[in-house]
């Protein structure tokens, strides 16, 4: 067998999470429309980013502790960004929307017209 024709596994680098996009998300969250008086935290998770924030409304956490606000996941196969909101009553993530660019997902999160993220 000729070595020139052997197939080698393709080594893929995992693009997300990364520090550059984490910082981009932190900066973008400064222009959100709701809960401007809290400081959200952007944490890297496998394939994306978790956004947490103190619960100032006390609707979800009576003590005002950190709650999950959104999950932004990058689909490496289709190269789209998927945005999820948290169903706090059931403790599960709910698919919200899909976006071709990270900025579009962040615009949706920041506007939060239906109040599904910033509660």
Query: pLDDT tens across 71-93, in order?
Result: 999 999 999 999 999 998 899 99
Give the H/E segment covering residue 104.
Answer: helix 102-111
Residue 99, token pair as written in the block: 């976006």
- What is the percent of the chain with per-residue pLDDT over 90, rounded to a whole number? 63
pTM: 0.83
Q: How far is CA 33 from CA 30, 47, 79, in A?
A: 9, 26, 27
CA atoms within 13 A on the CB side of 71: 15
Q: What is the pLDDT of residues 25-75, one digit of tens each?
A: 999 999 998 888 889 999 999 999 999 988 766 666 667 678 899 999 999
pLDDT more than 70, % of the chain: 82
If we measure between CA atoms, which residue out of 3, 16, 30, 11 comes closest to residue 109? 30
Residue 96 has pLDDT above 90, yes or no: yes
């Amino acid at each position: 067998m000729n070595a020139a024709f052997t197939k080698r596994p393709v080594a893929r680098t995992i693009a997300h999470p990364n520090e550059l996009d984490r910082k981009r998300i932190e900066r973008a969250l400064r222009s959100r429309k709701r809960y401007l008086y809290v400081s959200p935290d952007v944490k890297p998770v496998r394939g994306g980013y978790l956004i947490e924030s103190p619960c100032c409304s006390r609707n979800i956490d009576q003590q005002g502790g950190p709650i999950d606000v959104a999950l932004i996941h990058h689909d490496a196969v289709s190269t789209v960004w998927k945005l999820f909101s948290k169903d706090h009553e059931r403790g599960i993530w709910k698919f919200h929307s899909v976006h071709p660019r990270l900025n579009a997902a962040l615009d949706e999160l920041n506007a939060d017209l239906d109040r599904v993220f910033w509660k």
